[in-house]
Amino acid sequence: MYIKRSDGSGTVLPDKPICVISSASVVGNKEGEGPLAEYFDKIIEDERAGQDTFEHAESSFQKEAFAASMRKINMSADSLDCIFAGDLLSQCTPSSFNFKTAKTPFFGVFGACSTMAETLILASAYISAGAAKTAACVTSSHFCTAERQFRAPLEYGGLRPPYAQRTVTGSASVLLSDYDTAVGVRKIGKQSQKIASFTPGKIIDSGITDANNMGAAMAPAAFDTISAHLRNREISPSYYDLIITGDLGAVGAELLYTLMEKDFPGFRDRYNDCGLMIYDLKTQNVYSGGSGCGCSASVLGGYLLSKMRDGTLNRILFCATGALLSQISSSQGDTIPGICHAVEFSNY
Amino acid sequence: MYIKRSDGSGTVLPDKPICVISSASVVGNKEGEGPLAEYFDKIIEDERAGQDTFEHAESSFQKEAFAASMRKINMSADSLDCIFAGDLLSQCTPSSFNFKTAKTPFFGVFGACSTMAETLILASAYISAGAAKTAACVTSSHFCTAERQFRAPLEYGGLRPPYAQRTVTGSASVLLSDYDTAVGVRKIGKQSQKIASFTPGKIIDSGITDANNMGAAMAPAAFDTISAHLRNREISPSYYDLIITGDLGAVGAELLYTLMEKDFPGFRDRYNDCGLMIYDLKTQNVYSGGSGCGCSASVLGGYLLSKMRDGTLNRILFCATGALLSQISSSQGDTIPGICHAVEFSNY
């Protein structure tokens, strides 16, 4: 790998391909009623997924997504070298509990809603270093656990402002490997995906304190990372078929346009946001759109990689965004720092 | 890097050196009264560190440790490529808030009390991949924030059983680089430290549910990782001057002896635990010893690397241990899965 840096964060380009060998996503009822329903591997109607608590249910969503990604390529647990996983909850328990019997080296990651991109970057570097041949990148979120964690238990019945977003109930697992392993696992051809570059993000704090307005808290971080990435790569937005943020929602996406359009004309034509795609905002009563680790992850593991496989998309910039708040930091009146990690996927 | 695997987790050996170019640790009052006091860079007497909340104080401890590590080698923020940081609190806010103005790519990591070893492994792989030349590994814990997070606010005055441990108030920062950068930064000689190998751990759940007995919850994970490491490296415990766990405390360390001594005779002679070293258990009223991310981190950044620099220690196996529980998982009656990541430091 080598680093190109002309502005802000450095962009890293692997000199040997890091291959996507499998992906899967599993979502809840609400997401299964949305416009991307057909792209998810499984829709679990019961928000408890047959478990006794919502937290255990979130682990179950992860378990299903991970198992589906392994099953698709007949991969055995023995041949997986390591797992990178994280989620939104305190001490990332859905991830730890999901993998507590996995017998595979485990790296816990916390990047709030940017976690899928963070795990993809760390796993790519880990494989590129020769420290592993295969790695799983797994993340999840759940509407009911996130409400309890960040706002109030559902029973409280709190109302939310129209600029708030709804945490996606869902999980995705993306399996990466080095080139030789990928060739052994599946036919590597024109419509196989690789990670062509990535730009890890800095923390950007623009002073937002309203925990219902995470789109505004994260948009400046998305601007920082995406503009650094385009400058480092010396490309314009039209280089990509799609530049997609994680979960800026309607408010954050509009802010990002405003920030980007001066220096990067044509950005709007190539841009979308997972939080705006996973629900129908007109009919599904989800305020400003979807959010949560599971939002960008399930749109990537379901819709985006599927559209790359069928050739509709050939090159995308996946920019998962995270709001680094906690219930304690919000209660103490702190600002909400944001972060955005960008990962470029391309077909061969 | 390449992987050697004869048992359990694989052990990774860098083919180019990953160098320790600086380290620093900052601790609180109680730790400053302990037997390792002289090895810490700074002892902050005020547990609030002049801040309005304990959480902000924990960020301040991190800020001081990070700044001290950078100052020692006159390193500018511009020349640091990335930061790997984490802590015990929900959504790792002390780390995010510490680095929210850092302007350096940031990776949030959650490994509970194993976080320092996890950041060292991820940063080593990241540098080895060529994705960075320099990286900071930073972690912290604080007695008062951890009590509020995992048990009850201090004002509640809860009593604890004698097998419980005390969360260390402290932080450490370890700076790593590739060899060429290290040569530019400081004289690399016989008593410079490098990361010679590492073994990332699996999650091990042995069914412990008592959140006061984290030593017992983590000892089986330490056994799993250390025994895999020794088998993969085809060495006996005497290969190391010291094999040191993070925070098993008196109960966990005794359990680890019992698990290790059958297959690895001589283990007891080489073994110690950071949680037993940072306090004087006879006089300091700390129950079974220290715990927390800041425990193993400050003993590494202060005492251990200092003893390597003066040649008292030449080769150590640093095995930070983590208990992957949350207040919610404990309240829901869940078990406490453990994890242990091992990092081998050696002098040139």
Query: How far is Cα of residue B199 from the mean position of the Cα atoms in its chain?
Result: 14
Question: Mean pLDDT in each 10-residue stretch from start to end of chain A (348 residues)?
Answer: 79 94 97 98 97 97 98 92 97 97 96 98 97 97 94 88 96 97 83 95 96 95 97 96 98 97 94 98 96 98 96 97 96 97 96
Chain A positions touching B99 (Cβ under 8 A) are 203
Instruction: Say yes or no for a CB contact (<8 Å) between B106 and A2.
Output: no
Q: Is the dihedral of CA B231, B233, B239, B243 positive or negative?
A: negative
| Two tokens, residue A313 | 């998309």
Q: Are B334 and B208 in contact (CB under 8 A)?
A: no
Asked if the model's pLDDT at residue B8 lies above 70, the reply is no
> Which letter does DSSP use for residue A38 in this model?
G
Residues B146-166: tens digit of each pLDDT = 999 998 888 898 888 999 999
Closest-approach residue (CA) in chain B for A228: B105
Whether ipTM exceeds 0.90: yes
Query: How far apart, in whole angstroms, are the C-alpha atoms of residue A26 and residue B285?
Result: 49
The pLDDT score that the predictor gives to residue A7 is 65
Average pLDDT across chain B, whole number: 95
Whether residue B88 and residue A88 make contact (CB cut-off 8 A), yes or no, is no
For CA atoms A199, A204, A209, A215, the dihedral sign is: negative
Given pLDDT bands bounded at 50, 70 and 90, which one contains residue B168? Answer: very high
**What confidence category does residue B189 fall into, taking pLDDT thresholds of 50, 70 and 90?**
confident
Facing A205 at nearest CB: one of B101, B105, B128: B101
Across the interface, whether the CB atoms of A130 and B3 are under 8 A apart is answered yes
Closest-CA residue of chain B to A99: B203
DSSP category for residue B304: I
Judging contacts by C-beta atoms under 8 Å, the chain B residues touching residue A9 are: 105
Interface test with B, best of A98, A107, A119 (most B CBs within 10 A): A107
Whole-model pTM? 0.98
By Cβ distance, the residue of A91, A103, A124 closest to B326 is A91
pLDDT band of B5, cuts 50, 70, 90: confident
pLDDT value for A8: 67
Out of A131, A204, A326, closest to residue B90 by CB = A326
Beta carbons of A269 and A237 less than 8 angstroms apart: yes
Q: Give the pLDDT confidence score for residue B7 in this predicted structure.
A: 65
Tens-digit pLDDT profile for residues B270-304:
999 999 999 999 999 999 999 999 999 999 999 99
Taking the C-alpha atoms of residue B258 and residue B256, their distance in angstroms, rounded to an integer, is 5
- Residues with Cβ < 8 Å from A262, sequence gap 6 or more? none
Residue B188 has pLDDT above 80, yes or no: no
Q: Is B262 exposed, middle or buried (0-12, 13-18, 19+ CB in 10 A)?
A: exposed
Q: Which residue of A has its CA nearest to B332?
A: A53
CB atoms within 10 A of CB A265: 12
Instruction: With beta carbons less than 8 A apart as the criterion, state whether A200 and B107 touch.
Output: yes
- pLDDT 10s digits, B127-146: 999 999 999 999 999 999 99
